[in-house]
Amino acid sequence: MRKSVLTVVGALSLMFSLAALQAPPASAAVTISASASASTVSEGSAVRISGTASGAKLGSVVNLQRWYDGAWHRVASTKLVDTRRFSFRITPPRGVQRYRVRKPAQLGQAAATSPTVSITVTWRPKVTATTSAFLRSDRLWITRVTGVAPAYATVNVQHWDQATSRWITTGPGAVADSAGRYRVDVERRPNGWRFRMVSSPSGPRLSGYSTTLSAIQRPVPLAMNQETQIGALVADPATGDASLALPATAGDLVSVAITAESIVSTVNVELNGTPIATLEPYQQRVSTFRAPSTGTYRLTSHIYNTGVSGAVTIWTSTAKTKAFDEFCCDADQDRPGQIVDFTVPVSADDMFTLTVPEYEQWPFPYRSFLDPDGISLEPLYSMRTAYGNARVFRLPKSGTHTLRYVPHELDPMTVRDYLNPIATTDATLDGDPVLGGPRTSSGAGRFRLRVPAGTTFIINSRVSGQFLTPSGDVVEVGAGETCFENAVGGQYDLIVWTFDTVSFSARTARRCPNN
């Protein structure tokens, strides 16, 4: 019996000795190593952290921890089985993240911790952008962009370059505030209308991009009788045309004067899609049109090459009206390109001379003499005088006539014309001689005579002149007597130019002396 007990005790002693050789001693140190499958990943990517807990007892628990908010926090746990290896699959948040693996004190072993493992998670921020049109002080339409980006990030503009098929940062830039709000004013660039906003990168934060935007271009508003300075005329990408908007009232005679760093092409004027006029500033800097009705007129001009002109100044004017007086005709424009109308009260059959200096300085204006219905009058004839080229007009209608001057250039319009009423003296056939003649040195005088049809008559004038017949003929007559045989019935006028008192008479005759 004693021998059997000893045998059992010996066997138990041997078994405990073998177990002691297989398990780590309670005081054995545990060493934990850990590494990540990638040190830098993009946001949303999975990363595996794996390693070995050397010396740890099987069945021990190890925890994966991440540092945030000033402390280590458990992310995941696993138990060591079979081997002392572990593996964690995680999706780390954006930024630089720090992880470690820690085995707490357990199974008679002290706690152990791995070295820290760093993983950089890059991310692309969201950049929002909303566009609106804004008219700058230099009358240039710009596209104002507002939106949200990362706080304090610099936000720049990138334009799409069609030539290289890539995005080019062209500016301008702005720095987002603490809430990420930003505002950028975008001008149209020569390399394209498409653009986007891009925020600056910082550390693991990549550049952020807005959606692709389009520049906004609206008609540049003009005001009547005003100078408008425009930073540039910018073409609409769909048409290649720059647009201007000008309100006008029905009947307005509008002049548009343009000066630009580069030549401006033909300007088309339309109202509600209906063509009204075509202006050609490349031929003359001042063009005109009459507004048929009240509304906002759209003026379009094609912009070549880059789609952006240089600086442009535009003057828009309605005609300036001045009353005719003896000192006519000082133009006295209010702005370059303005038309000047002189109003002339007229009775039917009045006659005027418009004398233009012979050596008029270029650029000389375009002149027209208009009746009360706005119809241009043609002179009866022209006469070269000591003061220039005189045009003789007979005005058949009573009412206010207009002497209109239309400039072709931007220089102040200099007018040195003489508009003089022809002094009229009525004579009677077989009546006493009458005295008359010009009242000014630059004007003319008229002797008016009515003759029955079929009459032969003789006129006697101390000076030469032009004799106007009812049929519209202009007959040069010399000083002394001139006979007219079997005359056409109606009114005859003798126009004389000598600034002196002139005697005139007319008598009937049976026949002309030369016949």
Per-residue H/E/C for 83-152: CCEEEEEECCCCEEEEEEEEECCECCECCEECCCEEEEEEECCCCCCEEEEEECCCCCEEEEEEEECCCC
pLDDT at 238: 74
Tens-place pLDDT, residues 429-441: 999 999 999 998 8
For the segment(s) 320-416, the CATH number from 1.10.1200, 2.60.120, 3.30.450, 1.20.1740 is: 2.60.120
pLDDT given for residue 11 in this prediction: 41
- Confidence bin at 71 (pLDDT 50/70/90): very high
Query: pLDDT tens across 454-494, in order?
Result: 999 999 999 999 999 999 999 999 999 999 999 999 999 99
Q: With 50 as the cut, is the pLDDT of residue 191 above it?
A: no
Domain ranges of the chain: 31-122, 130-214, 221-317, 320-416, 423-508
Tens of pLDDT along 260-297? 766 567 888 999 888 888 887 666 678 888 999 999 99
Cα torsion through 288, 395, 346, 446, rounded to 10: 130
User: What is this structure's pTM?
Assistant: 0.67
More confident: 182 or 139:
182
CATH topology of domain 130-214: Immunoglobulin-like (2.60.40)
The vertex-167 CA angle with 151 and 198, nearest 5°, equals 5
Can 130-214 and 423-508 be said to share one CATH topology? no
Calculate what percentage of the chain has a pLDDT beyond 70: 89
Contact at 8 Å (CB) between 198 and 91?
no
Of 190 and 302, the one with more pLDDT: 302
Residue with tokens 């040190």: 39
Which tens digits make up the pLDDT trace of 386-398?
Answer: 888 899 999 999 9
Q: Is the pLDDT of residue 104 over 90?
A: yes
Fold entry, domain 31-122: Immunoglobulin-like (2.60.40)
Q: How confident is the model at residue 13 (pLDDT cuts 50, 70, 90)?
A: very low
Please tell me the CATH code under which domain 423-508 is placed: 2.60.120.380
For domain 221-317, give the CATH number: 2.60.120.380
